[in-house]
Amino acid sequence: MDATTNTQDSTTDAIAVEVDHVSKIFRGEQEVRALDDVSVGIRKNEFFTLLGPSGCGKTTLLRLIAGFEPPTMGAIRLGGRDISRLPPNQRPVNTVFQNYALFPHMSVAQNIAFGLEMLGKPKAEVQKTVDEMLRLVRMEELKNRRTGEISGGQQQRVALARALAPHPEVLLLDEPLSALDLKLRKDMQIELKRLQSETGITFIFVTHDQEEALTMSDRIAVMSAGKILQVGPPRDIYERPAERFVANFIGESNFLDATLAGGKATLAAGGTFDVHVPEGVRDGKVSVLVRPEHATVHAGEAGEREIAGTVENVVYSGEATVVHLRLATGEAMKARLSNAPQGGEAAPETGSAAAVTIAPGAVTVLRD
């Protein structure tokens, strides 16, 4: 077992975990295809996020990598080595469980020491690493407490320290922040990112929270119904979603009808835009995405390169105002305007005619 192998590899392209055509079918009263021919490569030292709604198979994929369940089909490789057959205790992979799964009959320090003891490390080394981990997650003062006597945020930190202590090649995190309140969650997001860069361990992070995924990840895999729909850096996923599901799941979206011809999309509502065309989309009728914050609105008639609409609703939400419009084609559209200091330009009024301007490059063709 080489769980302590230093994985700080300068070649960032090296693959840490390779999921090779993996399917997982649960046979109960009815057959559930939790994973459907999933293939993905997760790079070394990467903060990789599996993002999707509940039931999309993201946790199943994590459990397969951890070794808690065997795949129905396919193989999982770790650093090029097939680990499909290894039990969890022989995989240099550790998990931070959703509800932490801390051992209630042990102290904080004993929890952190557990993995190291199981690996048969000498006492002095266990002690040293436990102290290091306690410092890393800032829990030195509570090391002798029982896990039931510390707060949720502290338990979270102990769970992290326990999983990091054996210095695994890959750390799996199963929605570890979902039980925390908003403020704590924001702090832990930054904390996790810090831990990842300090330890240089590959993180595979499961979440259904798109904002969390965008904030923390190097790359995101968006999953739905047992399939990976798109893999890419947060910016690509947000700005160039390939499918309607991905666009809809991440951020606010306007879906508009358009006609694609020669790398240019002409909206049904008016206006022609240079667009990025994803693979497999042919000229003709397509759906395009415009993010609300990439559109602006002003009162009055539409000029050239502008789209005419009627204001249906204006919603103030602190840092922005969202204008809901009905376009001439009958399509609904939202525009998100940043709020200027008081006395700045006011948003158009409900019921008035307005003109929408879409920023160049803001129109994305979708594959669906």
Partner 1 sequence: MSEMGATPYPPGELEREARAADTRRRWLLSLPALVIIIFAAAGPLLVMVVYSFLTPGDYGNVKWQFSLEGWTNTIVQRDIFDDTLIWADAHLSIFWRSLSLSLITTLLTLIFGVPTAWFIATQPPGKREFWLFLVTVPFWTNLLVRTIAIQELIRSEGVINLVLLKLGIIDAPLQMMFTDFAIGFGMTYVYLPLMVLPVYAAVDKLDFRLVEAAHDLYASRWTAFRRVILPLIKPGIIAGSILVFIPCLGAYVTPRVLGGGKNLMFGNLIELQFGQGRNWPLGAALSLMLMVAVMVALIWYVRVTSREQADGR
Nearest to 205 by CA among 191, 77, 238: 191
Instruction: For the chain, report the end-to-end CA distance as a whole number of angstroms.
Output: 45
Tokens, residue 277: 């065309």
**Closer residue to partner 1 in complex, CB, 94/357:** 94
**Minimum CB–partner distance for residue 164 and partner 1 (Å):** 11
Report which secondary-structure segment, H or E, holds 313.
Answer: strand 307-316
Q: Are strands 364-365 and 307-316 parallel, antiparallel or unpaired?
A: unpaired
**Closer residue to partner 1 in complex, CB, 21/105:** 105
The one-letter code for the residue type at 24 is K
Do the beta carbons of residue 362 and residue 294 sit within 8 Å?
yes
Residue 88 found at the interface with partner 1 (CB under 8 A): yes
**Closer residue to partner 1 in complex, CB, 120/343:** 120
**Closer residue to partner 1 in complex, CB, 3/353:** 3
DSSP 303: -
Which residue in 157, 162, 167, 336 binds partner 1 (CB under 8 A)? 162
Question: What are the beta bridge partners of residue 76?
Answer: 19
Which residue in 33, 77, 146, 244 binds partner 1 (CB under 8 A)? 146
For CA atoms 269, 270, 271, 276, give the dihedral sign. positive
Q: By rule CB under 8 A, what count of residues binds partner 1?
A: 30
The CA-based angle 240-55-193, given to 5 degrees, is: 55
Interface with partner 1 in residues 41-70 (CB under 8 A): 66-68
**Minimum CB–partner distance for residue 289 and partner 1 (Å):** 39
Residue 26 found at the interface with partner 1 (CB under 8 A): no
Span near partner 1 by CB under 8 A; candidates 161-169, 209-217, 276-284, 341-349: 161-169
Which residue in 37, 149, 187, 349 binds partner 1 (CB under 8 A)? 149
Q: x/- binding map, residues 111-130, to partner 1, per CB under 8 A? A: ---xx--xx-----------
Please state, in angstroms and rounded to a whole number, the distance separating the CA atoms of residues 168 and 65: 13
Q: Rounded to the nearest 5°, which phi and psi values hold at 358?
A: -105, 130
Binding site for partner 1 (CB under 8 A): 1, 3, 66-68, 87-90, 93-95, 97, 99, 101-105, 114-115, 118-119, 145-146, 148-149, 162-163, 166
